[in-house]
A and B are shown apart, each in its own frame.
Chain A
Amino acid sequence: MSDAIRLTTPLTDADVEKLKIGDRVILSGVLYTARDAAHARLVDLIEKGEELPFDPQGQVIYFVGPTPPPPGRVIGSAGPTTSYRMDSYSPILISKGLKGMIGKGKRSKEVVESMKEHKAVYFGATGGTGALISGCIKEAEVIAYEDLGPEAIRKLVVEDFPLIVVNDAHGGDLYEKGRALYAK
């Protein structure tokens, strides 16, 4: 395996363009969490022309609904959720400058096209390792939609979050490539 690439958010077009599927990335900086219900609200605000709780320009959204923090911790278990449920919402956020998404599982053709057009990247994190990933999260603060509980939007500060590039800004798809290598 090649050496991991260290990146810090926010991401630029140049950061994104150099990434290729299969690259291992160690990501640090601010991430915003959102899953199904929060995405629906964000897109609704965009459609109404209203202000978002955070400016997506250059940012990375992590698809996660963490467990509550036990005493003494900033967050509980916090691994990725399955991304396809956000497919209908992601292209509009990408068109507003979102540069990265972190999740697990396949994305739609529309999302992949949108990532090519606007220079964005989709990272895979290891699903089902929420206890391990929790250790990379140094700060967490609910910034919107507290009523959604685990689905509220949180601003996270992460250090050395290990990721892999699944869809790059050039149309590549690691799931297809990986499967083809090992199918018998």
Chain B
Amino acid sequence: MTFSRFVRPILILGTCVLGAGAASGQAVADRVEVLTDIHGYFPCMDCHADQETNPTPRILEEEHEIPLEWTDDDGVTQLVPFGRRVALVDLLDAGAGDLAGDNMQRIGVRLSITDYMQENDLTAADSVWTLVHGGGNLWCLDCHNTDDRDKLVKLNGDLLTFNQSQLLCGECHGPELRDWERGIHGTTTGYWDLARDAGGESFRKLCVECHTPHDPAFPSLTPLAGPITRVDGPGERRTGDTAGHATEEEH
């Protein structure tokens, strides 16, 4: 009894500390580190810092020229990390091709979106800018902070950095956030056994690494090659939507 009285507050305190870790975007509960491709630079305030905000929801025209590049502290030109949707689909294909690498960790290979875009000459013009999310019930300032465009804003007014975006998603998608925190929803790679002395790390992607925030439905993909059937003879791959619907005669 006495033991419980002392231990329980410690456990609760520990849980709060872990929760604070999650809020920082560096680590969440379950000893799982969150990796993110989101770089530390966001271009919004480059222009909006000196502009007056019109808070009235409206259909936005293409009012501003989107900066495609920025120069980092080392003087290196970087692409703005947009175009997530087009990059995601291509990344998956690139990832599948990379499986022929030469070590067992290759399955978990992760490429930077920006690296990929640079390699393939993709620009922000290839990205999805249409706000599909919410079906017309949302607009920019429901998620982006009015005064500081480099921050996101929760319904209660709390500000979040972009690598805490899962907490914003969870405002509407609570069950998904709950499952994500427990490892049930979302992509996790690495070790199942986190207690291993050597390694023992697991990596979990943020919501926006799989779901474009402005158009979050998971994109359709071209499947990799299917099995060979006997219907068309050995070595022949069937094509078209009719694959698999063999007639009695074919059998």
The judgment on whether A and B are partners is no
Please report B residues at the A interface, Cβ cutoff 8 Å.
Answer: none
Instruction: Give chain A's interface residues, CB within 8 Å of chain B.
Output: none
